[in-house]
Structure 1
Amino acid sequence: MTVSSSMSARIASASGSVTDRRHGFAELARDEDIDFIVGDWMSEYNMTMRGGSKVQDNSGNASSEFETSFVESIEPALGDLAARKIKVAVDAGASDTKKLHDVLVAAIQAKGLALKVAWVEGDEVTDVLNTAVEAGCEFKSLTTGKRLSDWGFTPIYAQCYIGAWGIVEAFNQGADIVLCGRVTDASPTIACAAYYHQWKREDYDQLAHAFVAGHFIECSTYVTGGNFSGFKSLPGACVDLGFPVAAINANGEFTITKQKAKDGMVTVETCKAQLLYEIQGPRYYNPDVVAVLDEIILQETAPNEVHISNVKSLKPPPTTKIGITAHGGFQAEAHYFLCGLDIAEKASLLEKQVRHLLSASSSQYHTLKFRTNGSCPSNPSNQDSATVDLRIFAQSRNENALELEHFFRPVTDTIMQSYPGATFAVDARQAVPKPYYEYFVSILPQDQIKHRVHVPFKALEIPIEAPRDTVPFLYEQPSYETVGPVGMGEFGPVTRAPLGYVVHARSGDKGSDCNVGFFVRYADEWDWLRSLLTVDKVRELLGEDDKAKPIFRFELSNIWAVHFLLKDHLDRGVSSSSTYDVLGKNLAEYLRCKHVDVPNKFLSRGRI
């Protein structure tokens, strides 16, 4: 590819997680008019699991500290990547990017191809963390505000989020494929656009747009209809949604489209949903730039084509996010099934009986929760629909306290004296204690990171400087209620109905924080939404799930959206959470099903 500033850089996303569909990479490389393929294989969950696995494997022979599903995805695409000169940048290295490099180079050589592979290091910072702690440096949690020294767990692994410029340098050195460990989700997209247009590090407005473009496509088909609250409007069979393509112009503005001849859609609504996902406020932080979102403009320019502009920028922070992993202990769970009438009373009886039998061990549990999940409908049509799951979940630092004789046996030994219809799940595999990890999220100065790119085909190792001209990171972004709220009576007659009949929403996780954004389809619904959804109203809708912890609110009036950040809502986050919704994905759907007074004129337009 010839670098040019006169055309847009066409960047396709082939993966949004380690569990995404593996066929996308080869199809994009073979069929799409693109210059780059990016993909995201990393998450907080595999950061902890891969890091913990690497630390525990004293022999150095762990089967994989990188993400093997990436190799499965790219290998069938290698021939087309070479023939069509499509460049690749991905974060799939997990806790051993060098090993991934060696495996991929061997696969390329076995096919007789000449693709050049580089890799980026710097994300593994356990030694940096340990040195800082020994020197008396303190780390503050981004989610709880607590100090690392008060955490109560001993760090075993630390990984930080690095920026795009190592990838850019690798491309400048002639690399066709650049492998990374934990760069930010959007860094590969930023790097592709910066390389293509030859942007400088101070081109903040352009970089901010590319950052947001990366955010739109980092979760692959989330922007083409996946995880979309309007899923019933999706065209086609919806069994093979098209992967997204971002076309980024020289000025940074970009257009989102999708893979040809595939299911799904790209609309202003699908783009709004992805924009609101996993942000923490109007300032969206990246190691290379800060994107300011509250005046963003989204315009549908053609079917399955949305143009995005007016992203503002700030200089980058001197810091970046760091995730710290520790052994949390062990966890186990058991399940009972309750059916029919008196579910709450049955659950109460069982919990009282089980707690009595667990009393000898329960002092060693730092988590012991009983939770009923589901409900029995009135006059159910079949027995399964009338059945409710009761989950008993326990965590302990002492593995012996959760062995079968100390946990599962007492939990099940009460069955003959318990509620009518008492039945436990006979598959006891989840009741066997398994190790889990605790996770602490903080920030680390970028100038302490050994960010460098390895270019083996030139025998080069090139250091990447940290940004010098920076603006300090804000732990807490401004939170505010709406200006000039409109009285609910101004909207005419109302009907008590689920909020989600007329309101879209999307939610997600960052550590133990959960964010949720709400938006409407029509301009005249905006005053109602912004006036209705106050912090107090969200607490009311949360009901028993309100943790009485801080909730931050802000608005994106250009897209008729209200965003909330619920601090420390997810019980320590994905690797250790005791809830079902470990990723915060379902919070939006829970809140959409809650009843509010909805103006009849909005309901008359048809429910989402």
Structure 2
Amino acid sequence: MSERAIRIGGFSGYLGDRFTGVAEVLAGDPVDVLIGDYLAEITLAALSVRYRRDPAHGYVEHFLDQLRPHLGVLAERGAKVVTNAGGFHPAGLAAALRELIAADGAGLRVAHVAGDDVLGRLLELQRAGHRLEHLDTGRDLAGWAATPMAANAYLGGWGIAEALAAGADVVVCGRVTDASLTAGPAAWWHGWGREDWDELAGAVLAGHVIECGAHATGGNFSGFTRIPGMAVPGFPIAEVAADGSSTITKHARDGGAVTTDTVTAQLVYEIQGPTYLNPDVTTHLDAVALAPDGPDRVRITGATGSPPPPTTKVAVFGGIGYQVVNTAFVTGLDVAAKVELLRTQLARDLPEGITELDVTPLGTPAADPATQWAATVPVRVMATAAEREPLERFDAAARLGSLYLQGLPGFFHDGAARLTSTPRPRIDHWPALLPMSEVPHRVVLADGSEVDVAPPVRTEAAGAQPVHPEPAAPELGEARSAPLGTLAHARSGDKGGNSNVGVWVAEDRAWPWLRDTLSTAALRELLPECAGLDVVRHEFPELRAVHFVLRGLLGTGGSSNLRVDQVGKAVGEYLRAKHVLIPVELLPDGGGNHVAD
């Protein structure tokens, strides 16, 4: 137990993040624990396909190569490593790590957290009366058309804490919550109890901020033009104090920046509202406040906690067929008519068994274009089927390639990229609920002994998110039409089939305008794609933010919907481009510049 704040540094925010993350963190400012997050929902879907093909390698193999050169440094410094790179086979990654460490002679001890994989128990659980109901719709898993191929419960951080307390230097996890990678080490470091709700809530919030790596230091940030060193923004550090409050910072030598806006961007990312559920604690974000604490330092206070819900989420994935995707291009005038002709020609004599043919133009040509490319519109062509065979008969590459002399004028594909007819699996996502008492959370230590992690003794049913009344129409005075992004930042993301988008302003004086401008009705007008969706709106006055959940915008999940922006990462920037009325007194330089750029 230590009274000093624990310094936790991230080195990966997703599978595909910079390979050099471990090296960068170890070359930067000192940290006590390094955490690596690899398992986004859409990543799990892709990894599940690979795991079924080869169950011996259901983990993130390049993590071994990331860690390999640094084993001696980790041992010398006593720094711990916690990661969910174990994917579907944490025991396999732990074993591979032990072999690596033994060959190197570093003497590091490896433990892994197990119990999240419940695929083999789904029928047993259903027969016992567990509905594994859908998190959003409440429907029973038994009614799902897909056959489950992976099912992993979201574990909390107490297994990680137990492993560190038992002397582990590296803790390998599968599907723990992203925030658990931070909350577990913080609980171990400070000696917190299972019912230290406020402290745990603060650590969960700190974990939520740093789990996505450079998201907290300027990455994917709408104000990126004012962030220095954006070519390579550094990884973040969370200093979590004994009372659960935290300070977010970064390695001083690295690019990027930590500001109240970069931290706000991550706070409003991929949440469902002011109540943030976790297997260890329910975190309440209503009173969370941010304050600068020096250069590249932002202090987070105000998070409070209460007992967690009795259930945890289970990510169930199942195959629903196959898809083929290509991109072609149309140019110049009459783009809508050209796309319609392309659609008609592709759909002619469509093989039986093709379930969907989606032809989506991406953008519009410039008026009086300065270059050929300013007159060009990409068109995404996607065909789906329940089986491979109809797509193989469709032969997308040949069908697109047959249209050059008989189709629309100005039609081509990228000559440097081959068209494809090879079907790829489509994986659907079912976010289920399961009592935590049914999840065998346990830790396997370096000597093979196991430690069971009991479910929480105290739980509280997850109630509805707070309801915030719709605002009155804004009193604008003299106003001009300008992009929302002239004043506002935004960040969007995904949770299953839902997209969320948080919008905020940097100055207190603009907050009343934003709050009153972004009503649910206004949001629907700005984003016509949401016209038939259930839209949930919340306010975060301390953050000067309005937050929306766009239920169903992503279909049933990022891994299976037909949107080009599969996981809604660009929804926020799309919203910022929409024009709204802005009071002249708030406009910078009379409306000539975008202050949020």
2:493 to 508, 522, 527: 508
Query: In the alignment, residue 397 of structure 1 is paired with which amino acid?
Result: A
Q: How does 1:361-380 map to 2 (within 5 A)?
A: 361=352, 364-380=353-369
- Mapped contact 1:128–1:448 kept (Cα < 8 A): no
- The within-5 A match list for 1:550-565 is 550-565=534-549
Tell me whether 1:46 sits opposite 2:46 in the alignment.
no
Moved more, 93-102 or 573-582: 573-582
The answer for the alignment partner of 1:391 in structure 2 is 380
Residue 123 (structure 1) aligned to one of 116, 129, 135: 116
1:213 partnered with 2:206:
yes
Aligned length, in residue pairs: 591
Residues of 2 paired with 1:461 and 1:37: CA distance? 24
SS state at 1:132 partner = helix
Change (3 A) 1:72 1:143: farther
- Contact 1:331–1:435 under 8 Å retained in 2: yes
Name the counterpart of 1:279: 271
Instruction: Report the CA distance between 1:414 and its aligned residue.
Output: 4.2
1:126-145 matches, cutoff 5 A: 126-145=119-138
Q: 1:256 — aligned with what? A: 248
User: Is this contact kept in 2: 1:481–1:534, CA < 8 A?
Assistant: no
Sort the Cα spacing of 1:430 and 1:259 in 2 relative to 1 into closer, same or farther, 3 A.
farther
**Aligned residues of 1:228 and 1:270 also touching (Cα < 8 A):** yes
| CA contact 1:547–1:569 (8 Å) conserved in 2 | no
Distance 1:354 1:338 in 2: 15
- Please, what is the CA RMSD of the aligned residues? 1.7
Say which SS state the counterpart of residue 211 (structure 1) adopts.
helix
Whether 2:533 is the aligned partner of 1:549: answer yes
Q: Distance in 2 between matches of 1:116 and 1:406?
A: 52
Q: Distance in 1 between matches of 2:130 and 2:196?
A: 33
Q: Distance in 1 between matches of 2:76 and 2:393?
A: 57
Q: Which amino acid aligns with 2:240?
A: I
Q: Which residue pairs with 1:580 in the alignment?
A: 564
State the AA in 2 paired with 1:477: Q
- Out of 24, 27, 43, the position equivalent to 1:27 is 24
Contact 1:41 1:70 survives alignment (8 Å): no
In the TM superposition, what is the alpha-carbon distance from 1:124 to its structure 2 partner? 0.6
What CA distance in whole angstroms lies between the structure 2 residues aligned with 1:585 and 1:338?
25
Residues in 2 aligned to 1:431 and 1:368: alpha-carbon distance in whole angstroms: 14
CA contact (8 A) 2:28 2:253 kept: no
- Cα deviation 1:219-268 (Å, max 9, x = unaligned): 011001001000011123x2221211111111111111101211111010
1:354 CA displacement: 2.1
The match for 1:295 among 287, 304, 318 is 287
1:266 and 2:258 matched: yes
> Relative to 1, partners in 2 of residues 1:84 and 1:462: Cα closer, same or farther, differing over 3 Å?
same
Q: Distance in 1 between matches of 2:273 and 2:544?
A: 15
Instruction: Give unpaired runs (5+ residues) of structure 2.
Output: none
Inter-partner Cα distance in structure 1 for 2:128 and 2:420:
42
Equivalent in 430, 439, 459 of residue 440 of structure 1: 430
Aligned position for 1:228: 221
Letter in 1 for 2:125: A
Asked whether the 8 Å contact 1:357–1:411 carries over to 2, the reply is no
Aligned residue for 2:50, secondary structure, equals helix
Aligned counterparts of 1:603 and 1:430: Cα–Cα separation in 2:
49
Change (3 A) 1:396 1:144: farther
Corresponding residue for residue 307 of structure 2:
315
Separation (CA, whole Å) in 2 of partners of 1:491 and 1:145: 42
Q: Which runs of 5+ in 1 are unaligned?
A: none
Per-residue CA shift, 1:277-332, capped at 9, x if unaligned?
Answer: 00001100110001100111100121111111111111111111111111111101
Corresponding residue of 1:471: 460
Residues 16-45 of structure 1 deviation map (CA, whole Å, 9 limit, x = unaligned):
011111222123224422211111011112
| Cα distance between partner residues in 2 of 1:248 and 1:232 | 29
Name 2:164's counterpart in structure 1. Answer: 171
Per-residue CA deviation, residues 55-81 of structure 1 (Å, 9 max, x unaligned), is 344xx5x5x210123222222222211
Superimposed CA distance per residue, residues 488-508 of structure 1 (whole angstroms, 9 cap, x where no aligned partner): 3x3332111111111000000
- SS at 1:380's partner residue? coil
Give the Cα–Cα distance (whole angstroms) in 1 for the partners of residues 140 and 333 of structure 2: 47
**Shift in Å, 1:409:** 3.6
Identify if the C-alpha distance between structure 1 residues 52 and 167 changes in structure 2 by more than 3 Å, giving closer, same or farther.
Answer: same
Residue 86 (structure 1) aligns with: 79
Give the whole-Å Cα distance in 2 for the aligned partners of 1:166 and 1:31: 28
* CA–CA separation in structure 1 for the residues paired with 2:356 and 2:315: 23
Aligned partner of residue 555 in structure 2, secondary structure: coil
1:133-171: CA deviations, max 9, x gaps?
Answer: 234532322244443233211112201110111111111
Q: TM-score, normalised by structure 2?
A: 0.96
* Residue pairs, 1:52-71, within 5 angstroms: 52-57=49-54, 60=55, 62=56, 64-71=57-64
CA–CA distance in structure 1, aligned partners of residues 203 and 75 of structure 2: 25
- How far apart are 1:84 and its partner, in Å? 0.8
Call closer, same or farther: CA 1:55–1:291 in 2, change over 3 Å.
Answer: same
Q: Which of 385, 410, 416 is the equivalent residue of 2:405?
A: 416
- The answer as to whether partners of 2:283 and 2:303 remain within 8 angstroms in 1 is yes
Q: CA deviation at 1:415?
A: 4.0
Amino acid at match of 1:32: D
Q: Secondary structure at the match of 1:251?
A: coil
Give the secondary-structure state (helix, strand or coil) at the position aligned to 2:42.
Answer: helix
The structural deviation recorded for 1:176 is 1.0
Select 1:186's aligned residue among 176, 179, 188.
179
Q: Distance in 1 between matches of 2:412 and 2:28?
A: 53
State the match for 2:510 in structure 1. Answer: 525
Corresponding residue for residue 586 of structure 2: 602
Deviation, structure 1 residue 53: 2.6
C-alpha distance 11-48 of structure 1, shift in aligned 2 (>3 A): same
The corresponding residue for 1:4 is 2
Q: CA deviation at 1:199?
A: 0.3
1:423 CA displacement: 2.5
Query: CA separation in 2, counterparts of 1:446 and 1:135?
Result: 15
Cα shift at 1:568: 1.4
Bigger shift: residues 546-555 or 498-507:
546-555
Match of 1:371, as an amino acid?
Answer: T
Change (3 A) 1:547 1:431: farther
Counterpart amino acid of residue 311 in structure 1: A
